[in-house]
Structures are given as C-alpha cells and as structure tokens.
Amino acid sequence: MPRRKRTAGSSSDGTEDSDFSADLEHTRASESVHRRSSTRLTRASLRLSRSSQDQKRGADRDETPPRTPTGNAPSSESDIEVSSPSNDHDERLAKELSLKEAAAHDLSHRPKRRRFHESYNFNMKCPTPGCNSLGHLTGRHERHFSISGCPLYHNLSADECKGKASTRDKQADERTLSHRQDENRHSTRSQAPTDRQLRYKEKVTELRRKRNSGLNKEQKEKYMEHNQSHGASREPLLENITSDYDLELFRKAQARASDDLDKLRLDGQVSEGSNMIKTIVFGRYELDTWYHSPYPEEYARLGRLYMCEFCLKYMKSQTILRRHLAKCVWKHPPGDEIYRKTNISVFEVDGKKNKIYCQNLCLLAKLFLDHKTLYYDVEPFLFYVMTEADNTGCHLVGYFSKEKNSFLNYNVSCILTMPQYMRQGYGKMLIDFSYLLSKVEEKVGSPERPLSDLGLISYRSYWKEVLLRYLNNFQGKEISIKEISQETAVNPVDIVSTLQSLQMLKYWKGKHLVLKRQDLIDDWKAKETKRGNGKTIDPTALKWTPPKGS
C-alpha cells in the first residue's frame, strides 16, 4: 500500500511525480469501469476471471490489467490495453467515450417494464358473482377487476375471448394489406368503389338478410331462464337479436371500450371497483371528495365528475361540460334572493318547485358530508344557498336546508360550506343566518342531529361567541338562560352545554349559577378586534317573510 500513502504527497521541489500520477489515473479508470459494468457473467467467464485474479494476487497493484467494458478480465494478452504516461490526451478521450457507449447499451439499471395486468392491485376482485378475475374481454390480459372487462359477465370464457382477439388481429392485418394495395389509386370524391369493396358490401348484405326474423319458443325459454337465474349480474343473451355481423361489430366495440376504460383506470381517472368519485371539476376548482355519494352507477364508477357550478348538472367529460357551458343560461341559483350585502347573496330555493336542482345539490353535499341521508326526497325542505358574486355569476359558497314544518323546531337539517371556502368565516355566516331566520319567525332553533365533525366544531364555536357577546353586553345582576335563549334564538339545551364546556356553570346551594369569566370575554374581544367585521350577517339586508306552509 505505499502507493496509497503517496496520493497526497509531492516531490521535494513542489512538483508531483508524473509516473505515479499516470499509474494512479490508470487504477482509478479501471475501478470506475468495474463499478459501471452490470452485465451478467457466464460461468466460463467467471472461472476465467477468478483464475486470472489468483495468478495476479501477489503482483503489485499497478500491474493489475484493466477490465473490459463487459466487466470480465481479458482472455489474452492481445486484449489488454496498456496505459502508460506516454498515452496522449486523444487516446484517453476515446477510451472514455467507449466506456460511456458501453454503459448506454447496458439496460440493466432500467426498471423492468410491467405488463398491463401487473399494474393492478391484486387485492381487488371482479364484482361479478362466481368470477375468479381471470381472463379479459379483450383477450390480451391475464386478469381483470371490473365488469367491463369480465368475460363471465358477457357470457364468454377466457379462451373464447383470446380466440376472438386473434381473429380481430387477423382481420386488422388483412384490412391493412388491402389498404396498401389501394394506395396507388387516386383519392378523389368521385372515386368509384373497388371490386373488393363491392364484394364486401354484398357479403354484409347477405349476412344481414340471413338473420332470423324472431325467436322460437326454445330460444325464448332459454332467454327467460337466463334472466331469472342471473338477473342484472350478467349481460342478457344477444344471439339472434341481430345479425351475426352486427353482433360481432358490437363485441369489437365492447372490447375496445373495455381496453380504454382499463387504461383510464390505471391513470387514476376511473376508480377500481369502489364506485367512489375521487375528484370533481367545479368551476375553476378541482376538488378532492371525502365520502361516497349515490350518483347513478354510470357516473359513480368514474374517477372524476365535471359539474356546472350554476345549475349543478353533472357530466362525464370536459368536452360535454364545455358544450353545456356554451348554452347554459343560469348564472345564479333558482328561487328568490332574500339577502344581499356587497357581493354576498342568499337565495331561498323550494325543493318542490326546483326539484332537480335541489337533488343535485344534495348529491354534491354528500361528497363532503358523512351523516347526510337526504338525497332525492327534497320536496318537504327549503334550501338557503349562499353565493359570492363576480362578473361571471354567483358562485356557490355553501348552503343549509330546513324543513318547512318541523315539529322539533329544527332550523337546520343539513349545512355545508364548500371546501374551497372553508376557514374563511362563511360557515359561521350560514349558522348566523339560520338563527336570524328563527328570530324573524320568533322561534327558538337548533340544528338537527347528528352533526358532522366539522359541523359540531363550527356550532360550538358559534354558540361560544354568541354567549360571550351577550355576557359582555349584559349589565344586570341576575341572568336567566331563558332570557338568553329568547334573545339569541339558541335552544336552552345548547346554551347549557356550551356554558358547561366553558366552565361557566356552577351548582351552589341548590341553584345553578352562571359565572361571568372576564378572562374569556377579554380573549374574545381581542380576537374580534383583530378579525374585524368582514364576514358578518347584517339583519337589515334581509328581505324575507316566513313561508305559510307548503
């Protein structure tokens, strides 16, 4: 190892030893080649390299021959390239270039290309009853995890799908060959059909003419038995419904659609068997969903929905949405505008008069609420939709619904703030507006239970704020929970629970006493001063009279 010690040394006159630097450079080059080589060694070359290493083990380090770009020691003296200080700069550049080319041809560092079915999660199973997830409708993949690719659902076997796939490939090759033969013909509008095209047209006409006009008794019984035994879990029998030619065209379209759906599923645009919409495109936002919503199955299995933010109609693709927006005349929710201050408006929408809009609103809300159960029975409810206006229209901020005739005096059945407007004060505005309506009705209100997690947090924060504001303005000596309830329209049960959480309710000598904690009031006043009066409801801006029944 004396060479190792001289790597950082120099001669007495301050110049490095040229022979040593050349040898060191040669050693480093051989080690770098050895590291970059990743080609597998055959048994013969491995034995040869071991024998050469044993023969040269006792030799000096500088005499170790460089390895070839394949990683093996050279088999003869003619293969050894001797590096000496006399080698010029061009030879070193040529050697480095050859090493780079060898590394470029070595593809072992690249990840192994996965086959199509290997990209799936194998914990998934095909939802078709009795299916083992083997085979694919296209005949090109070994497994499937959706109804669209299930051979059993389409009343076929995996081998039949493979046979149909090979037949389709042969037909495609024949069609490509025939197109090449017709390339020499001039492509003009008045070009007459070729003999091949005429023969094909006659063949199709003959195939369609041979189709039976109807089903016989045995076929009808077979179809009825199939429908009774399998129901919607299998595709209906399609034989003899149309000609064999048209049925084969339909099968080709099914296979192609299944292949396209699987590609979309791998890209994450279609969910795998969970029937849960992952994202929605809503106006200029793309929102991630939180919970399942019972949209129709053909929409629920899509990974992404496109929605009009004004009429709330849901669509399957960006193209359909773009065409819809070109002719949609809605710029605000239907119903009556009962509140407006600056750019904030609230519309009262009757579920009986605007049924489709309210149903779409409930389906949209279920994507972000866990405990919501109302979807389609919207007629007994009124919906109060809050919007934010700009030069393009009134954009949905949130809403709450309430029963037209509630026996338990619930002033809110369901409440939602859209995710893009959360943590901006709109939730408290909606709650405050619901209690404002209760004050106008001269009733005491409370939200319907159970509340969602975010709803419970919002309501507790609102009740705390209302109580601290009331206590800050209260100048008397004795305070009554009933008086607080009548002035704030908050249910006494909610007032008591809030006071208990704030540790402001104490039982002493057989009576409940409300403690006025000045520290909490001071903290609230500081937060109010810092927050300002940006997101508040102005009672004078409300133009509304309570409805007189449904």
Task: Tell me whether residue 218 is in a domain.
Answer: no
pLDDT in tens, 415-437: 999 999 998 989 999 999 999 99
Q: What is the pLDDT of residue 349?
A: 95
Task: Tell me whether residue 498 is in a domain.
Answer: yes
What is the C-alpha separation between 458 and 172, in angstroms, rounded?
62
Higher pLDDT, 296 or 108: 296
Q: What is the pLDDT of residue 502?
A: 87
Amino acid 74 reads: P
Checking if the pLDDT of 123 tops 80, the result is: no
Flag the least confident range among 262-276, 308-322, 341-355: 262-276
What is the C-alpha separation between 277 and 8, in angstroms, rounded?
65
The CB-based long-range contact list for 498-503 (8 Å cut-off, 24+ gap) reads 498/460, 498/463, 498/464, 498/467, 499/467, 501/460, 501/464, 502/464, 502/467
Q: What is the pLDDT of residue 364?
A: 93
User: In CATH, what number is assigned to the domain containing residue 464?
Assistant: 3.40.630.30
Highest mean pLDDT: which range of 176-190, 220-234, 257-271, 514-528: 514-528
**Residue 513 confidence class, pLDDT cut points 50, 70, 90:** confident
Half-sphere exposure of 186 (CA within 13 A, CB side): 4
> If you write DSSP's letter for every residue of 411-462 in order, what string do you get?
EESEEEE-GGGTTTTHHHHHHHHHHHHHHHHT--BEEPSSPPHHHHHHHHHH
pLDDT mean over 501-508: 84
What is the C-alpha separation between 83 and 221, in angstroms, rounded?
89
Flag the least confident range among 49-58, 77-86, 384-393: 77-86
**What average pLDDT does the chain have?**
76
**Residue 23 confidence class, pLDDT cut points 50, 70, 90:** very low
Closest residue by Cα to residue 144 from 273, 297, 252: 273
Highest mean pLDDT: which range of 213-222, 273-282, 298-307, 323-332: 323-332
What phi and psi, each to the nearest 5 degrees, are found at residue 224?
-65, -40
Higher pLDDT, 359 or 26: 359
Checking if the pLDDT of 475 tops 50, the result is: yes
Task: Tell me whether residue 70 is in a domain.
Answer: no
**Residue 353 confidence class, pLDDT cut points 50, 70, 90:** very high
Higher pLDDT, 217 or 137: 137
Please check whether residue 64 is in contact with residue 74, taking contact to mean a CB–CB distance below 8 angstroms: no
| Residue pointed to by tokens 């070839």 | 68
Closest residue by Cα to residue 95 from 39, 22, 29, 18: 29
Closest residue by Cα to residue 387 from 338, 354, 351, 350: 338
**Residue 310 confidence class, pLDDT cut points 50, 70, 90:** very high
Task: Tell me whether residue 244 is in a domain.
Answer: no
Residue range(s) defining the domain that contains residue 495: 331-541
Checking if the pLDDT of 51 tops 80, the result is: no
Q: Which residues are catalytic?
A: 448
Checking if the pLDDT of 354 tops 90, the result is: yes
Q: Please list the residues that pair with 134 across neighbouring strands.
A: 143
Checking if the pLDDT of 305 tops 90, the result is: yes
Per DSSP, helices labelled H in 267-389 are 297-300, 318-327, 355-366
Higher pLDDT, 521 or 83: 521
Checking if the pLDDT of 464 tops 80, the result is: yes
Q: The tokens of 332 are what?
A: 């605000």
Q: What is the pLDDT of residue 303?
A: 79
Task: Tell me whether residue 296 is in a domain.
Answer: no
Higher pLDDT, 408 or 306: 306
| Residue pointed to by tokens 């890209």 | 267
pLDDT mean over 288-314: 89
Please check whether residue 108 is in contact with residue 89, taking contact to mean a CB–CB distance below 8 angstroms: no
Q: What is the pLDDT of residue 45?
A: 47
Highest mean pLDDT: which range of 234-238, 292-296, 376-380, 388-392: 388-392
Q: How many domains are there within the chain?
A: 1
What is the C-alpha separation between 138 and 145, in angstroms, rounded?
13
Give the rounded percent of residues in the chain with a pLDDT score beyond 90: 29
Q: What is the pLDDT of residue 106?
A: 52
Q: What is the pLDDT of residue 80?
A: 35
**Residue 42 confidence class, pLDDT cut points 50, 70, 90:** very low
Task: Tell me whether residue 360 is in a domain.
Answer: yes
Checking if the pLDDT of 246 tops 80, the result is: yes
**Residue 56 confidence class, pLDDT cut points 50, 70, 90:** very low
Give the rounded percent of residues in the chain with a pLDDT score beyond 70: 72
Q: What is the pLDDT of residue 60?
A: 43
Pairing mode, if any, of strands 304-307 and 279-282?
A: parallel
Please check whether residue 162 is in contact with residue 143, taking contact to mean a CB–CB distance below 8 angstroms: no
Q: What is the pLDDT of residue 39?
A: 40
Task: Tell me whether residue 509 is in a domain.
Answer: yes
Checking if the pLDDT of 539 tops 70, the result is: yes
| Residue pointed to by tokens 């109609």 | 313
Q: What is the pLDDT of residue 3?
A: 42
What phi and psi, each to the nearest 5 degrees, are found at residue 367?
-65, -20
pLDDT mean over 320-346: 94
Task: Tell me whether residue 316 is in a domain.
Answer: no
At how many degrees (to 10) do helices 453-473 and 518-531 cross? 110
pLDDT in tens, 91-122: 666 666 566 555 544 544 444 444 444 444 44
Q: What angle do CA 421, 423, 429 make, to 5 degrees?
A: 75
Residue 132 burial (CB count, 10 A): 11
Please check whether residue 416 is in contact with residue 400, taking contact to mean a CB–CB distance below 8 angstroms: yes
Q: For CA atoms 296, 299, 305, 309, give the dihedral sign.
A: negative
What is the C-alpha separation between 140 and 259, in angstroms, rounded?
9
Q: What is the pLDDT of residue 365?
A: 92
Residue 43 burial (CB count, 10 A): 7
Write the CB contacts of 229 (distance below 8 Å, at least 6 apart in sequence).
none
Closest residue by Cα to residue 307 from 371, 257, 364, 380: 364
